[in-house]
Chain A
Amino acid sequence: MRQAVIRAAGVSGRFRPRALVAAAGCALLAGAVAVVLIGSGDFQMSPAEVVRTLLGNGDPAQDFIVNKLRLPRVGTALAVGAGLGLAGALFQSLTRNPLGSPDILGFSQGSAAGALVMIVLVGGGSAAVAAGSVAGALLAGLAIHALAGRHGAHGQRLVLFGIGVAAILTGVNGYLLTQAKILEAARAMVWLTGSLDGRDWGDSAPLLIALAVLVPLVVAGFGRPLRMLEMGDESALALGVPVTATRVLMLGSAVLLTALTAAAAGPVSFIALTAPQLARRLTRTTGPNLTASLCMGAALMVAADWLAQHAVSGRQLPVGVVTGLLGGGYLVWLLVRERKSGRI
């Protein structure tokens, strides 16, 4: 793999140009789709107008539509996508499994259970639902970690425990859904699928704060330890990586990101699974690919939201429907491929 090194003032950094280009490309793509998304709707705007307005030079009407109505939603989409992409990359790296994602490991089901309890049993508003989903995901994470127990939360065991917990929670969620009145059930169903309708900065503020703290910490601080960890616990330990601390911290970060994205937009499926995979194919490097996954997640999310708004004319689908359908197809393809190369 071609690498480049920067040396300046006694500090040197090693990086892979291709990975950097891929990440930058994804970020650009995410930005471009976001601009198109802001420009589309009942009041059409050209990308140039959108950019001008975003920079503060639009007329008052455009300013209102862009900055007050559409930017919060698109911003939430970008944040959720980035959070899911990063969380997915962390999960897949920690479980050493391309299918290790919050959808399959039970965290999404946990946050869904928490939210359903709030919607159906408590009848709380959106803040309560968000809090419930965070609590649910964290509890599911704790339960899976406790179950995986003394042998540590790694590899296939973690995945199998996750599958078991996910199955139990799916049953509980189904029960909660039958206990609801039909209007509550419909609301719960939209939430369960993942939707960006009517989201504003208030919904995504906790996620944005978490991203601001966790992204530098994870990407800069733990990119290397994670890559070492993928070689196996013993090798990583021999190379000076604090194995247990790294794993617990990174697992905690991933669960927290998953929980907060679910609180912002519901458990949007498959972004966390596909973003790291696609990023890996672009960068052509092993390892967690944290930055590229993050940018890819954001790009996928805004693209899915654009599709959700335009796929069926005259009505908007929740974004989770699009990610679910596309992601499901991609997943089957991935399974076949990974099986052929003997990786799962």
Chain B
Amino acid sequence: MRGSTRLSLTTHPPSPSAATRTASGPPRRLTRSAGLLAALLALAVVSLISLGVGARPMSLGDAWRGLVDPDAPGYSVVHQMRLPRTLLGLLAGAALGVAGAVMQTLTRNPLADPGILGINAGAAAAVVTAISFLGVSTFAGFVWFAFAGSGAVAVLLYAVGGGRSATPARLALAGAALNAALYSYVQAVQLLDTAALDQMRFWIVGSLASAQASIVWQLLPFTLAGLAVAFLLARPLNALAMGDDAAQALGANPARARAVGVVVITLLCGAATAACGPIAFVGLMVPHLVRALTGPDLRWLLPYCAVLSPVLMLVADVLGRVVARPSEVQAGVLTVVIGGPVFLYFVRRRKAVAA
């Protein structure tokens, strides 16, 4: 039995036999491709549901007609309000899921997540600084601050957490510490500036509610660039998972792969956080669940994550619109409420996580 087909806490390097079997196994590739198609189908359905659910509910058919037919009654609602929101969920979800998968591979750490490790908090702290002290109020303005913040934290975390020798627990601890420090800064700024508090308390929990078409367009290039580089990085990262020596022997450049990986994480997390606030646990949960389906091969893992993370994100958003009518629960709250127990489960089912 292949160890990687079980839901496994460690990011196992693919064993040589598994690698050859995937390369030479058309049936395996067929099931994986079929699975990816099914995932895409699920994404399409969830997107339609997301277009249909809201203050004025529509059937799936009406939602579709509202999307394509300019004369349909739901056209303006769908296009002006729900489509940007759905697209934002798609982009941010894909970004966070893929960033999580890259992070887990890069740190060889099953508990890695942009939220847990403080990357999102770094972006949040930088954005809060921009809003309050520099008067920046547009996405185009603060996305650069978000990049700076998440990049700085990624580097700091790597230095503090111990680089390659970091254990899962040590890294999670360093991340929690950074989270505590950064959020107390965010809190301090919010306190000194009530207007900023009013603007930020909705953003800081992570929400898709403020979506606008312009934000989606500005988020698009960053996310696409990040995803593209991540996919190109799949092969070197696969090699890296087997250890630095093996990776070098296979022709990969470990140092470069790691540096590019950090850039990818910064790009994806920074852009997603700037657009919809810090959203935790999407990047933790989805790669774990996907790994159970695809095994640890990143060439399959990353596309699956890119498709299934938005599914989770949109489901959380749609649930948030439904559970507390007439008000809304933010998507970021629901991902935490769903994802937190998953994190606890991962910790609990492996005694040796405290290595």
Say yes or no: B191 contacts A318, CB within 8 Å. yes
| Cross-interface CB contact of A160 among B156, B169, B333, cutoff 8 Å | B169
Residue of B nearest to A104 (CB): B176
Most buried by A among B184, B206, B280, B336: B184
Q: How far is the CB of A45 from chain B (nearest CB, A)?
A: 29
A339 adjacent to B353 (CB under 8 Å): no
Asked if A142 lies at the interface with its beta carbon under 8 angstroms from chain B, I say: no
Q: Which of B118-175 contact A (CB under 8 A)?
A: 156, 159-162, 169-170, 172-174
Say what secondary structure dominates the interface of chain A.
Answer: helix
List A216-274 residues whose CB lies under 8 Å from chain B: 269-270
A166: B residues at CB distance < 8 A? 176
Say yes or no for B347: interface residue by CB 8 A criterion: yes
**8 Å CB interface, B169-187 against A:** 169-170, 172-174, 176-178, 180-185, 187
Residues of B within 8 A of A331 (CB): 177, 180-181
CB pair B194 A182 closer than 8 Å: yes
A residues 51-90 in Cβ contact with B at 8 Å? none
Of the stretches B43-51, B263-271, B337-345, the one at the interface is: B337-345
Say yes or no for B71: interface residue by CB 8 A criterion.
no
Bound: A160/B354 CA distance, A = 8
Q: Write out the residue numbers on chain B whose beta carbons fall within 8 Å of the beta carbon of A329.
A: 181
Query: B11-19, B27-35, B324-332: which one contacts chain A?
Result: B324-332
Query: Is A179 positioned at the interface, with any CB of B under 8 Å from its CB?
Result: yes
| Binary per-residue interface labels of chain A (305-322) against chain B in the complex, 1 for a CB within 8 Å, 0 otherwise | 000000000000110110
- Residues of chain B lying within 8 A (CB to CB) of residue A324: 181, 184-185, 187-188
Give chain B residues whose Cβ lies under 8 Å from the Cβ of A160: 111, 169, 172, 347, 353-354
With a cutoff of 8 Å between Cβ atoms, the chain B residues found around residue A270 in the complex are 180, 184
B177 and A104 contact, CB distance less than 8 A: yes
Q: Which residue of A lies closest to B207 (CB)?
A: A178
Q: A185-B197, A328-B180, A331-B177 are in contact. Are A174 and B172 (CB under 8 A)?
A: no
Interface residue SS majority, chain B: helix
Q: Within the assembled complex, what's the spacing in Å between the Cα atoms of A192 and B184?
A: 10
Are A328 and B336 neighbours in the complex by a CB distance under 8 Å? no
What's the Cα separation between A190 and B190 when bound, in Å?
A: 10
Residues of A within 8 Å of B198, CB to CB, are 182, 185
In the complex, B115 has a CB within 8 A of chain A: yes
How many chain A residues touch B (Cβ–Cβ < 8 Å)?
51
Q: Complex: how many Å from CA A192 to CA B177?
A: 18
Instruction: Please report the C-alpha to C-alpha distance between residue A266 and residue B185 in the assembled complex, in whole angstroms.
Output: 16
Cα distance, A317 to B348, chains bound together (Å):
41
The answer for the CA separation of A332 and B111 in the assembled complex, in Å, is: 21
Interface contact B353-A178, CB-CB below 8 Å: no
- With a cutoff of 8 Å between Cβ atoms, the chain B residues found around residue A283 in the complex are none
Residues of B near any A CB (own CB < 8 A): 111, 115-116, 156, 159-162, 169-170, 172-174, 176-178, 180-185, 187-188, 190-192, 194, 197-198, 201-202, 204-206, 280-281, 327, 329-330, 332-333, 335-337, 340-341, 343-344, 347-348, 351, 353-354
The 9 closest A-B pairs by CB, nearest first: A156-B354, A171-B336, A328-B181, A324-B184, A168-B340, A174-B205, A321-B188, A175-B333, A164-B344
Q: List 22 A-B contacts (CB under 8 A).
A: A104-B176, A147-B348, A157-B351, A160-B169, A160-B347, A164-B343, A165-B344, A166-B176, A167-B280, A174-B332, A177-B201, A182-B198, A269-B184, A270-B180, A317-B191, A320-B188, A325-B184, A325-B188, A327-B184, A332-B178, A336-B159, A344-B170
